[in-house]
Amino acid sequence: MDRIRIRGGNRLNGEIQISGAKNAALPLMIASLLTDDTLTLRNVPRLADVTLLMRILGNHGVDISVDGKRLGTSGIQGDTMHLTARTIVDTTAPYETVSRMRASFWVLGPLLARCGEARVSLPGGCAIGTRPVDMHIQAFENLGANVEIDQGYVVAKAPKGLRGNKISFSKVSVGATHAALMSAVLARGETVIENAAREPEISDVAECLVKMGAHIEGIGSSTLHVQGRERLHSATHEVLPDRIEAGTYAMAVAMAGGDVHLLGARTDLVGSVIDVLDRAGVSTSPTNQGLRISRNGAGLKPVEVTTEPYPGFPTDMQAQLMALMTRAEGTSTITETIFENRFMHVQELARLGADIRLNGDSAAVYGVKRLRGAEVMATDLRASVSLVIAGLAAEGETTVHRVYHLDRGFERLEKKLGACGADIERLAS
């Protein structure tokens, strides 16, 4: 298994091109199941999760081709992907695939809406929590499907098609909102989705669905009105830039010091992260090409932050912020409200000398004067990158094991950081 070795202490200076958002690209690819025409996606990031989903969609009968595009000198812009689900050849998504990537469970909605049935393995728990799918099931049932759990599979049937209805979620869920939206676009009549997630990746998918002929009002708000259509058609859509990748590199610069321009970062999507960095004493300035981050000399101030659904501070940035706050001058409090078990990075950060104490869903992070390099283990995608951030400021050498987690969600991370002066390399196994 590959490892990443970092020798800490270098400042970061230069430019980093932000890639297309993983968490938009995956549901956008899944949306191709909704039509027998071709969906063309631009700016698709080159990630292990994207490659895996290509294989999964292929099993359902989606024909996929990719042309790489190399733009400018500052980095690869991403791929253009053509997806055509002319005929759905299989409406089952087996345990082997869904257990490898949770988002593949999201094929259930489009398969059910288009074919009237789907059988998809329950995804099971993962390193960040139990992650149930009860609200997905609620959405399908509200739309008239009969849903049963059989031998670890969710079996959903609607032989006469789905019917529009009200879907009112008791809590905010990105996945359940995708499920409701991608089913309702092919249901008969109107669906109203209340307490919908407002994450920008939901809006990106909704905008793509509109280009495919769907009728959706309220995009970006917590109430979505969908008028079902008999069929959707071809469209071309560009994946929005990854706000979590942008926020992560912003934290990396804040940690290492220096001055980096994040090209293509959408500042309107990272408001909560900019706000926290400002409070920590890191300088952030929006530019017409993206976002500029700098920290020169001054110490980091501690912060108090709680993760929340968008537009609040993202759970997907919690580990990176915690890494940063290990070096703050004082005590920070970071509270995780979205997932119950998303603190796996704490014990690994401790191996680098961090002083963090957990109390239920809160972590008290006591800033230390120095971190020291060590061997550490990646446990999930965002936890892994928090260890890289810590390694950038640790004295000596840090080796991050199990970097396949990183490859799931960060495109060419070591190249992007290395080009800005980080001493970082991938060691092949």
Residues with catalytic annotation?
Answer: 126
Q: Which stretch binds ligand EPZ (CB under 6 A): 124-132, 277-285, 388-396, 414-422?
A: 124-132
Q: Which residue is nearest to ligand EPZ (CB)?
A: 175
Complex with ligand EPZ: residue 302 or 409, whichever CB lies closer: 409
Q: Which two tokens stand for residue 168?
A: 């009112």
**By CB under 6 A, is residue 23 in contact with ligand EPZ?**
yes
Complex with ligand EPZ: residue 238 or 316, whichever CB lies closer: 316
Residues in contact with ligand EPZ, shown as a per-residue x/- string from 377 to 416 under the rule CB under 6 A: ----xx--------------------------x-------
Shortest spacing between CB 158 and ligand EPZ, in angstroms = 19
SS (H, E, C) 293-333: EEECCCCCCCCEEEECCCCCECHHHHHHHHHHHCCCCCEEE
**By CB under 6 A, is residue 129 in contact with ligand EPZ?**
yes
Complex with ligand EPZ: residue 171 or 215, whichever CB lies closer: 171
Complex with ligand EPZ: residue 135 or 214, whichever CB lies closer: 135
Q: Which two tokens stand for residue 234?
A: 């071809």
What is the rounded CA–CA span in Å between residue 319 and residue 389?
A: 10
Q: Which two tokens stand for residue 9?
A: 């202490």
Shortest spacing between CB 326 and ligand EPZ, in angstroms = 20
Q: In the range 80-119, which residues lie near ligand EPZ by CB under 6 A?
A: 102-103
Q: Which listed residue (114, 119, 136, 292) binds ligand EPZ by CB under 6 A?
A: 136
Per DSSP, the three-state class of 207 is: helix
In Å, the largest CA–CA distance within the chain is 66
**By CB under 6 A, is residue 173 in contact with ligand EPZ?**
yes
Complex with ligand EPZ: residue 10 or 183, whichever CB lies closer: 183
**By CB under 6 A, is residue 425 in contact with ligand EPZ?**
no
What is the rounded CA–CA span in Å between residue 326 and residue 252?
A: 13
Q: Which two tokens stand for residue 19?
A: 């890639």
**By CB under 6 A, is residue 134 in contact with ligand EPZ?**
yes
Cβ atoms within 10 Å, residue 358: 12
Q: Which stretch binds ligand EPZ (CB under 6 A): 87-95, 130-138, 369-377, 420-428?
A: 130-138
Cβ–Cβ < 8 Å for 409, 247: no
**By CB under 6 A, is residue 131 in contact with ligand EPZ?**
yes
**Beta strands of 115-178 (E only): which ranges?**
117-121, 146-150, 153-157, 166-168
What is the rounded CA–CA span in Å between residue 347 and residue 411?
A: 26
Shortest spacing between CB 123 and ligand EPZ, in angstroms = 8
Q: 403 to each of 148, 308, 346, 351, how far by Cα in Å?
A: 37, 27, 17, 17
Name the DSSP class of 395: B
Per DSSP, the three-state class of 308 is: coil
**By CB under 6 A, is residue 198 in contact with ligand EPZ?**
no
Shortest spacing between CB 40 and ligand EPZ, in angstroms = 21
What is the rounded CA–CA span in Å between residue 131 and residue 348?
A: 23
Complex with ligand EPZ: residue 154 or 265, whichever CB lies closer: 154
With CB under 6 A as the rule, give the number of residues binding ligand EPZ. Answer: 23
Q: In the range 313-342, which residues lie near ligand EPZ by CB under 6 A?
A: 315-316, 338-339
> In DSSP terms, which residues pair with 306 in a beta bridge?
335
Q: 165 to each of 137, 141, 156, 387, 418, how far by Cα in Å?
A: 14, 10, 17, 45, 51
Q: Which listed residue (25, 26, 28, 270) binds ligand EPZ by CB under 6 A?
A: 26
Q: In the range 200-229, which residues lie near ligand EPZ by CB under 6 A?
A: none
* Burial degree of 200 (CB within 10 A; 0-12, 13-18, 19+): buried
Q: Interface with ligand EPZ by CB under 6 A: which residues? A: 23, 26, 102-103, 129, 131-136, 171, 173-176, 315-316, 338-339, 381-382, 409
